[in-house]
Amino acid sequence: MKRRFYLNKKDLEEAISIYFKELKYYFSNDDVEIIHSRNAFNRVTGKPIFANENVPSYNSSAMDGVAVISKKTYGATESNPIILEKGKDFEYINTGFPIIQPYDAVIMIENVEILDETRIKIRNSVFPYKDVRKVGEDICVGEMLFPRYHTLTESDISFLLMAKVFEVPVIKKLKVLLIPTGNEIVEPEKKTEEFQIPETNSLMIKNYIEKFNAEVNVNEILPDDFEIIKNTIISKIENYDLILLNAGSSAGSKDFTYYAINEAGRVIIHGLNIKPGKPAILGIIKGKPIIGLPGFPVSCNIILEDIIKPLILKKSKMEIYYDNQFVNGISGKRIHSSITEKEYLRVGIGKVKNKYVAIPLKRGAANISAVSKQDGIVYIDKGIEVLENGEKVKIQLKREKKLIDKNILIIGSHDLLIDLLADFVKIYDKDINIVSANVGSLGGIISIAKGYAHLAGMHLLDPETGKYNISYIKDYLDKFTLVNLSYREQGFIVQKGNPKNIKNFEDLTKNGIRYINRQKTAGTRILLDYYLGKNNISPENIHGYADEEYSHVNLALKIKKNMADVGLGIRAAAKIYDLDFIPVALERYDLLIHESFLNDERYNLVMKIITSEEFKKEAEKLGGYILKNTGEIL
């Protein structure tokens, strides 16, 4: 065959762009398999993963001490201590042990004066669930552990098993065939002649690629024979996701790789404007990539690093984690810490208006979800009692900086549709993560006003006008963009069968009714207060009004676990735990957009997703959602 010259070399970036566009369907077509969670380390989730168990699964003591009945401690002071009797008022308990009714709080052993074997003296009262690690504190049944395309770490495997997820759908490992070619090469152990070249590239290539969730088979060495090379490619392509040919990619009289690939499929690129690495060949056969690697090891290594690695990561959706970079940022929340210890605060991160905003994840030594969801760590030095909202911090990144730059930071009211959105964005761009924090609707507005979030979810009823959100936003912003996400049903979540016969707000004041509330800045809390005022009901007459949860799912879980009888929440949360639901209101849930995000491609992607029929269909399956005006700018 005639020598072939590099008549149309491409710059590396242009070549990759052209080649990857030709492989668009290849990249979008996922092959998913089910494997045991114990074997899923470093694998990539092929579908969203949801918890099958609450973590923790029971109320447990957060420290060594005594389990007490909280109401029996009321009135205890330094000058007026209370004596408690073992078996009647308290029991000794160790960290992690279950809290059994009627006990509902823990007092540290250091704060107890032991009088004898059966009596103790206390000098401080405690409220219900003080120093108790509550059921579902880390994650609740039905909540999303990971969206699709999440690379599972060692901590994630523990989290899966804790949440009773024993099998996971993962992207299949890529099957790669490496074909070394050349009359002059032999296996190193079989070299007998001076002019023979030991074939060592294959081991380098195999070891390099298998770091990225791929299985590499090395073919026997093929001679410089066009027909043999071509026929081998054709016979093998059906069984592999990627074929690599090593050597024979240059322009010599015995370099047949170009012709073999072009005969069996088509060559897209031959020759790159780089040195070393110029002779690389990028081709496609039956929709699959086939690449000719240069024979010289340095040239080969460059193509591995700059083309093969990004190709494999794009196909497998795998993320490589880094932890060797620091960035300067600000704290997106006021944080109290210990003055006697250095704290490792795990955070989610969003880049808003060119500044990195760190949002604290769940704290505590037992909350493994924080390790799974972390983007970085803020180290709060010993002696610092408070990290102020907006205070400058140094963040050690746990993910690659360019990926963190793509995070979408959503702060505000909790809603299950945010988790659904987090999974849907992965379908369009695997590198985008949604970082969310449940701080309530008002907290979301304040975060947008301060430039601490891209989006904020909210559902704030104005009692005077009966309308949602706008009057509250105007207290903080003169100009704003508000987008409707959905309408959703709010109502009383009660135990199955409604054994306490709760029908209206007046019933919340009945003796024996235990209410569970949302936090003060939550839209649901404001909705409750609106109806209490409308019905002339004092919060003081509702037992449990001060008992707060930060999400609808956690609220429903407390009712499921008989820690409360009723709470105001969304129908979707009741559905997760098979609880009864008594409708109260149909409310509007909107997204407030930070002005800097409006011209961002990620904003356009969010709008595309939430207005799609696929998203709406999945949202309606959750229960209680009406998406009639989704995407409407208000």
Question: 399 Cβ partners below 8 Å, 6+ apart?
Answer: 319, 321, 322, 375, 376
Of 405, 440, 465, the domain-final residue = 405
| Residues 480 and 600 both lie in one domain | yes
Element (H, E) at 225: none
230-250 mean pLDDT: 90
- How many domains, the chain? 5
292 forms beta bridges with 245, 281
Q: What angle do CA 162, 163, 166 make, to 5 degrees?
A: 90
User: What tens digit of pLDDT does each residue of 271-287 get?
Assistant: 999 999 899 999 999 99
Higher-confidence residue of 190 and 393: namely 393
| Residues 307 and 359 both lie in one domain | no
Q: CATH no. for residue 348? A: 2.40.340.10
Q: Which of 29, 27, 22, 40 is nearest to 313 (CA)?
A: 27
How far from each other are the two terminal CA atoms of the chain, in whole angstroms?
68
150-170 mean pLDDT: 97
Element (H, E) at 128: none
| Residues 126 and 143 both lie in one domain | no
CA dist list (Å): 543 to 11, 519, 540: 70, 15, 7
Element (H, E) at 524: helix 523-534
- The SS3 call for residue 588 is strand
607-615 mean pLDDT: 97
Whether 634 shows a pLDDT value over 90: the answer reads no
| Residues 279 and 354 both lie in one domain | no
74-95 mean pLDDT: 94
| CA dihedral of residues 410, 416, 421, 424 (deg, nearest 10) | 150
Q: CATH no. for residue 144? A: 3.90.105.10
- Record the tokens describing residue 516, joined without a space: 């569970």
Whether 7 shows a pLDDT value over 60: the answer reads no
CB atoms within 10 A of CB 303: 27
Whether 249 shows a pLDDT value over 80: the answer reads no
384-398 mean pLDDT: 94
| Contact call for residues 563 and 577 (beta carbons, < 8 A) | no
- Record the tokens describing residue 266, joined without a space: 């088509």
For residues 138 and 370, give the distance between their C-alpha atoms in angstroms, rounded to a whole number. 9
CA dist list (Å): 123 to 61, 106, 236: 20, 14, 78
Element (H, E) at 445: helix 441-450
Q: CATH no. for residue 486? A: 3.40.190.10
For residues 183 and 256, give the distance between their C-alpha atoms in angstroms, rounded to a whole number. 12
In a domain, 446, yes or no: no
In a domain, 420, yes or no: no
| Residues 538 and 589 both lie in one domain | yes
- The SS3 call for residue 563 is coil
- Record the tokens describing residue 40, joined without a space: 């899923």
Of 251, 283, 316, the domain-final residue = 316
Q: How confident is the model at residue 111 (pLDDT cuts 50, 70, 90)?
A: very high
For residues 589 and 591, give the distance between their C-alpha atoms in angstroms, rounded to a whole number. 7
| Residues 75 and 40 both lie in one domain | no
For residues 409 and 428, give the distance between their C-alpha atoms in angstroms, rounded to a whole number. 17
Whether 99 shows a pLDDT value over 90: the answer reads yes
Paired sense of beta strands 335-336 and 281-285, if any = unpaired
In a domain, 442, yes or no: no
| Contact call for residues 520 and 529 (beta carbons, < 8 A) | no
**Structure confidence at residue 4 (pLDDT):** 53
User: What tens digit of pLDDT does each residue of 471-515 get?
Assistant: 999 999 999 999 999 999 999 999 999 999 999 999 999 999 999
Of 171, 186, 218, the domain-final residue = 171
Tokens 């050690």 sit on residue: 396
Residue 155 sits in which domain range?
32-56+137-171
Q: How confident is the model at residue 92 (pLDDT cuts 50, 70, 90)?
A: very high
In a domain, 421, yes or no: no
| Residues 398 and 487 both lie in one domain | no
Among residues of the chain, what percentage have pLDDT more than 90? 87
For residues 401 and 399, give the distance between their C-alpha atoms in angstroms, rounded to a whole number. 6
The conformational region for residue 373 under phi > 0 = left, psi -120 to 50 = alpha, else beta, is alpha
In a domain, 470, yes or no: yes
| Residues 399 and 493 both lie in one domain | no
- Record the tokens describing residue 162, joined without a space: 């804790």
In a domain, 436, yes or no: no
In a domain, 223, yes or no: yes
Q: CATH no. for residue 273? A: 3.40.980.10
Q: Which of 508, 484, 483 is nearest to 584 (CA)?
A: 508
| Residues 51 and 70 both lie in one domain | no
CB atoms within 10 A of CB 504: 11
For residues 249 and 307, give the distance between their C-alpha atoms in angstroms, rounded to a whole number. 15
| Contact call for residues 591 and 607 (beta carbons, < 8 A) | no
Q: Which of 20, 321, 16, 31 is nearest to 174 (CA)?
A: 31
- What is the 3-state secondary structure of 365-427? CCCCHHHHHCCEEEEECCCCCEECCCCEEEEEECCCHHHHCCCEEEEECCCHHHHHHHHHHHH
Q: CATH no. for residue 74? A: 2.170.190.11
DSSP state letters, 306-348: IIIHHHHHHHHT-------EEEEEEESS-EE--SSS-EEEEEE
Q: How confident is the model at residue 324 (pLDDT cuts 50, 70, 90)?
A: confident
**Structure confidence at residue 186 (pLDDT):** 85
352 forms beta bridges with 355
| Contact call for residues 162 and 53 (beta carbons, < 8 A) | yes
| Contact call for residues 485 and 472 (beta carbons, < 8 A) | no
Beta strand ranges found along 424-480 (DSSP E): 434-438, 455-458
| Residues 481 and 618 both lie in one domain | yes
| Residues 27 and 97 both lie in one domain | no
Q: In terms of C-beta density within 10 A (0-12 exposed, 13-18 middle, 19 or more buried), how is residue 259 classed?
A: middle
402-417 mean pLDDT: 95
Is the C-alpha dihedral spanning 418, 424, 430, 431 positive or negative?
negative
In a domain, 411, yes or no: no
| Residues 141 and 45 both lie in one domain | yes
**Structure confidence at residue 115 (pLDDT):** 95
549 forms beta bridges with 518
- What is the 3-state secondary structure of 23-50? CHHHHHCCCEEEEEHHHCCCCEECCCEE
